[in-house]
Chains A and B, each alone.
Chain A
Amino acid sequence: MRDGAGDAELLARHVGGDPDAFGELVERHRDRLWAVALRTLGNPEDAADAVQDALISAYRGAAGFRGKSAVTTWLHRIVVNACLDQARRRAARPTVALADEPTSHGAHDAIADRDTQLTVEAALRALPVEQAAAVVLVDIEGFSVEEASRILDVPGGTVKSRCARARARLAVQLHDLDPRGGVKDRATAERNEAADRRVETKTTPDNPTTEEHQ
């Protein structure tokens, strides 16, 4: 699932002036790049803007690709950066918006699977964009922490930490957990919300406490 054979060759042909090569490269990877952008940003309009900006910038900047990473890593890096830019520009994404919607735990038939998928997608939309990007790359797209670290241009520990926080938020949402441990009930939820507010004034999203222990 990494570099398809010939990605680097296509990119070289593009740099060398082949008018069709870049289009072919895009054709190969566009669905994955789209999935990353859509799930990172959470809405198709912003994702379309980001992917378009990214691919144009990749088109123009291809000559700067030095082959130190796989072409797919390079493409993902450009797309994810465009997504983060887009999110910051639009401030379109809620930073903390975990809805208290009850989730169903039905039988494992096809319908339940589809419901789960929809719920997972919805829960992803509530993540801060940096966490979403990390968990999309590592857990959904299957990049290693090292690759994700190159794509996101942050240390591996930060990738792990963002993934952990993202999974925690998703698990709370999908499995109706009490974020402070155990099964949620209304009284503790309210108490913990107050605690949350106190804590979050001291831990900014970009500087999770665990990163200080790398």
Chain B
Amino acid sequence: VTDEHVSVGELSGHLDVDQIADLDAGVLGGRRARRARRHLAGCEECAGSLAALEATTASLRDLGTVAMPGDVAARVQQGLAAAAGETAGETVMPDPAAIRSRRFAAPRFAYAGAAVVVVAGLVVVSLTLARHHHSGTSNNAALQPALVGTASPSAAYVEQQTGRTYTPASLQQLVPGLLAMPRGPLYAKAAPSATAGHNDASGAGAQSGLPAATAPRAAAGGTSETFVPPLAPSLQRLANSRSALLACAAYITDTPNAVPLAVDFGRWRNPATHTRPKPSVIFVFSDPTNSSALTVYVVAPACGGSSLLDYQVVSRR
């Protein structure tokens, strides 16, 4: 069967590279191996091929490992959490979400009764603290059975539009600061879209029974525009609609009712792929398994199937 294979090499007077590799790997049969060794001993070119094979094996050994990218790790984690949910017989809320959402109970910067606090470069949309009746361990599904996938309309989170560029390395430093920012110097965010956004379909502003986001904006008097970079057009959809933003949070975490602690509209650049900074939303969640950590999702504006650009767990401090 193999006569043709051998004869091709012999036609040119040399051993096939395949044959040399087979010999080297010890899979060439006895007679064939002896013949090949004889030829190798006297043929400089074939000896060169053997050297090239050895160099190739050495370069393979020298290949370092590659770290699993954050988005893949996030996918795996979500897949495993979903599998865990199935095992436990939870079909409605299958995943880390189920655990994580329990921790959404008290976002750090949600002040019960406070209306809207506008501060340096960000708007804290702090509506009635929805979860005051939502104990630390209660099931989220029970809280909002009719709103699976849309989150409680009165859930509170910090929203920013810093416009700054995040990288995989800088997330660790910048994200904790997102949560600290509401205590910074006050100035108004002049993006009208944000004001409109928080009064949309969910009726969040009205429901709180408090002045909507327009009030503090007027109070702060438009001193802000130089500080706030223009919002990328592709981000308008999410920035303008609270329900779209929360739907995105639910989608990306695969968790109905997922409410972030903070959201920033900025840019994302991954030097590993040499991409230019592109408009992105940074979602910050409390970590369901570690109270001193935050989970961060970097999401492209489309918020669709391949929009998860990175996922990291960062320390709160």
Contact = CB atoms under 8 A, between A and B. Distances in A.
A120 B77 contact: no
A213 B75 contact: no
A209 B7 CA distance: 13
Interface in A1-42: 19-20, 22-23, 26, 30-35, 38-39
Interface in B66-89: 66-69, 71-73, 75-77, 79-80, 82-84, 87
A87 interface: no
Given A139-B60, A171-B49, A199-B4, A163 B83 contact: no
Interface residues of A, number: 64
A80 interface: no
B5 A209 contact: yes
B80 A26 contact: yes
A117 B62 contact: yes
A30 B73 contact: yes
Contact of B65 (A35, A44, A139): A35
B41 interface: no
A206 interface: no
Given A51-B72, A161-B27, A168-B17, A140 B60 contact: yes
B67 A34 contact: yes
A182 B27 contact: no
Given A56-B83, A199-B5, A181 B16 contact: yes
Nearest to A181: B14
Contacts, number: 180
A37 to B, nearest CB: 9
Interface residues of B, number: 57
Given A180-B14, A181-B46, A210-B22, A167 B76 contact: no
A125 interface: no
A187 B247 CA distance: 62
A121 B60 CA distance: 9
A148 to B, nearest CB: 12
A13 B87 CA distance: 16
B97 to A, nearest CB: 14
Given A20-B289, A168-B53, A174-B59, A160 B79 contact: no
A212 B22 CA distance: 13
A164 interface: yes
A20 to B, nearest CB: 7
Interface of A: 19-20, 22-23, 26, 30-35, 38-39, 44, 47-48, 51-52, 55-56, 59-60, 113, 116-117, 120-121, 135, 139-140, 142, 157, 160-161, 163-165, 167-168, 170-172, 174-175, 177-183, 188, 192, 195, 198-199, 202-203, 209-214
15 contacts: A26-B80, A31-B66, A38-B66, A48-B75, A117-B63, A161-B27, A167-B60, A168-B16, A168-B20, A175-B56, A177-B17, A181-B45, A182-B14, A182-B46, A182-B49
